[in-house]
Amino acid sequence: MKMRDFMASAPGKVILLGEHAVVYNRPAIAVPVNAVEATSEVSYREGGVFVKALDFAKEYDITKRPLKEGDDGFALQETVYHTYEYLQKRPEDVEIRVTSTIPVAAGMGSGAAIAVSMIRAIAGYLKKELLPEEVNYLAYKTEIIHHGTPSGIDNTVITYNKPVYFISEPRKMERLDIAKPFMLVIGDTGIRSNTKEVVAMVRENRKKNYSKYKQIWNEIADIVNEARDAIINGDIEHIGPLMNRNHELLKQIHVSCDELDKLVDAALDAGAIGAKLSGAGRGGDMIALVNEGTKEDVANALRRAGAKNVIITEVKP
């Protein structure tokens, strides 16, 4: 019987504070970015199993699960198959069309958002209901393909579409009650950042200087916990200096780059309350905390400083 088409979407995300340290069981705070999203639509198509990546004008025939790790489209294929397997169904006569406005490899969770939208669209097409924790579990399996040893923060904040305070082990996810909305300007360097490679680099450097990295992780944890209290209490101004310090610590572990530092400096010079890289680093995005009166000045300053894309988003309760 032909099924009715089903569509689902998922937001982007940025890490507000705590990236890299979160891989080593320290807390991080991440927030959704609803100004951008990934969307998947599932429909009937006779003769196999197909995924269309519309933004790249690519189609993958994954009828017999032909793609291997490292192949273009492998993560899309595996997301389809492990979702169907979890739902105890066999994929057949189906097409999944995927599109996204989230910058790729920029620290905004594009891979996780695509996975979440695909999982929900497939479940909806099959008239199955998945709990958020089930979607999160399946999306994390895709994140392993993308990143090797992910913290789980991307799939978590995107699945729940709420600001979260997150610790990877033992797993703790606390949805934050935001006392006051706040605004971020996101600047994209245009340099694609490979999370798996950057995380692996940090891991190797940590082995060589364990005590230094432990001290940095602990200071980042203190910053995150202080920011958590500020968010809950509505003390948004207090978050800015914490972001600045977090960026300096990330520079010490060599995950920033000249382009990111230039955008951070430009944002601060234009009146941002705080600014830092967001995500793996070595390219990708930076974020600036702003208010209504400074958001446009900061956005324009980022464009002048070389940002390839600028997004203004409000983080709400």
Q: Collect all residues with Cβ–Cβ distance below 8 Å to 118 and sequence separation of at least 6.
A: 8, 40, 76, 79, 80, 83, 96, 98
Count Cβ atoms below 10 Å from residue 234 Cβ, excluding itself: 13
Helix/strand/coil for 13: strand
SS3 content of the chain, % helix, strand, coil (to 5): 45, 25, 30
Name residue 310's beta-bridge partners: 187
Which of 5, 55, 72, 154 is an active site residue?
Answer: 154
93 is catalytic: no
Closest CA to 223 of 26, 25, 3: 26
- DSSP code per residue over 216-231: HHHHHHHHHHHHHHHH
What Å distances lie between residue 22 and 13, 165, 198, 211, 280, CA to CA? 16, 10, 14, 17, 11
CB 157 within 8 A of CB 13: yes
Cα 230 from Cα 163, distance rounded (Å):
14
Closest among 10, 49, 35, 6 to 135, alpha carbons compared: 10
Element (H, E) at 186: strand 182-188
Check: CB of residue 183 under 8 Å from CB of residue 295: yes
Per-position b or e across 9-21, b if 16+ CB within 10 A of its CB:
bbbbbbbbbbbbb
Active site residues: 154
